[in-house]
Amino acid sequence: MDDRDSTGLRMTSFRASRTATVSSAWALIAAVNGWALVEPPDHAGASLGARRFVTPAVTTNLPLAQTFRMKMPDLNGIDLRAEAVGQVGGRIRLELVDFDIDRGPLVIRSAEIDARALVQGESYTLQFEPVADSDGHRFRLDILSSSDAPSSGVGFWAGKGERYPDGPPVANERERWAGLAFQAHTPARSTLSALLDSRHLPHASGPIALSSLFIGWLALGVVLREGAKPDQTG
C-alpha cells in the first residue's frame, strides 16, 4: 500500500512537472514569436554626434529645413529637438515636402505648433497621417516662422562634421555642413509582410526566409506534440 502510494505520488509529481515544463515552453514560444513577428521599423534620422550646437532662433528671416530619404512605407512622424534660445513665443510652422510625388515637390503634410510646446520636453514629435508610398521618396521638412504669429526664441539642435548622407540641412535656403537632429517614424511591420517584400531584405531573399520560417514552425509542432503525449508508465 505504502509502495503504491509512494509510486503514485512520484508519478503525479512527474506528470505535474512535465505539464509545467510544456506550459512554460508554450509561454516562452509565445513571447519569442510575439517579438519575432514584429520587425523594428527602418527609420531615417541623424543623431547629434560630439560636435553639437543649437541653431539661432527660427524667424521669418531664418527658416530651417532638413532633407532625407525614406526606406520604408507609411512615414507617420518626425522627432525634432528644439531648445529655448531667448524669449519663447509665437508659433512655428512645420511642412513636409515630397520631392518624388506627382507634380512635386509638393507640401503633403503641415502643422502650426505653439513655440512653447516645442521646448517643453527633450524632443517634440510631429505626428501625421501615414504617407503610404513614402518608401524611396526624398522629403524635406521645412521649419518656418508662422506668418500669423511669428515665432521667437526657438532654436534646434544640430551636429557639425559628417552630415546625414541622404540629404543636407538648409538654413535660410542655403545648404550647410551640419545636420539637424531628427528621427523619422514608421509603424512596425509584421515579419511576414517584410518577407513578402524582398526590397527590405538586403541580405536574404523572401522565398528562402519564408521556407526557413515554415520549417521552424514544423519542427516546433513535432516537439510540442511529443511533449504532450500521455504518460504510458503503469
Distance CA 148, CA 91 (A): 8
The pLDDT value recorded for residue 179 is 79
Cα angle at 147 between 183 and 151, to 5 degrees? 60
pLDDT range class, residue 205, cuts 50, 70, 90: very low
How far is residue 15's CA from residue 228's CA, in Å, rounded to a whole number? 11
| Rounded Cα gap, residues 172 and 208, in angstroms | 49
| C-alpha grid cell, residue 66 | 532638413
Q: 23-70: per-residue pLDDT in tens? A: 555 555 554 454 444 444 445 555 555 678 899 999 999 999 999 999
| Annotated domain spans of the chain | 2-40+199-227, 45-187
Least confident of 10-24, 40-54, 139-153: 10-24
Task: Give the number of other Cβ atoms within 10 Å of residue 142's Cβ.
Answer: 17
Query: Residue 75 in contact with residue 184, Cβ under 8 Å?
Result: yes
Q: Read off the amino acid at residue 118.
A: L
Q: What is the CATH number of domain 45-187?
A: 2.60.120.820
Q: What are phi and psi of 150, to 5 degrees?
A: -50, 135
Amino acid at 233: T
Residue 13 phi, psi dihedral angles, 5° rounding: -60, -40
Q: What is the pLDDT of residue 58?
A: 97
Q: What gap in Å lies between CA 79 and CA 104, rounded to an integer?
A: 24
C-alpha cell at 4: 503504491
Q: Which helix (H) or strand (E) holds 200?
A: none
Residue 75 has pLDDT above 80, yes or no: yes
Residue 14 identity = F
225 or 95, higher pLDDT = 95
As given in the structure block, the three cell numbers for residue 48 are 547629434
Chain centroid to CA 128: 14
Q: How far is CA 82 from CA 156, 157, 164, in A?
A: 4, 6, 18
Q: How confident is the model at residue 165 (pLDDT cuts 50, 70, 90)?
A: low
Please write the tens of the pLDDT for every residue from 113-132.
999 999 999 999 999 999 99
Quick one: how far is CA 70 from the chain centroid?
12
Question: pLDDT grade, residue 234 (50/70/90)?
Answer: low
Cell readout for 92 is 512655428
Per-residue DSSP letter, 147: S
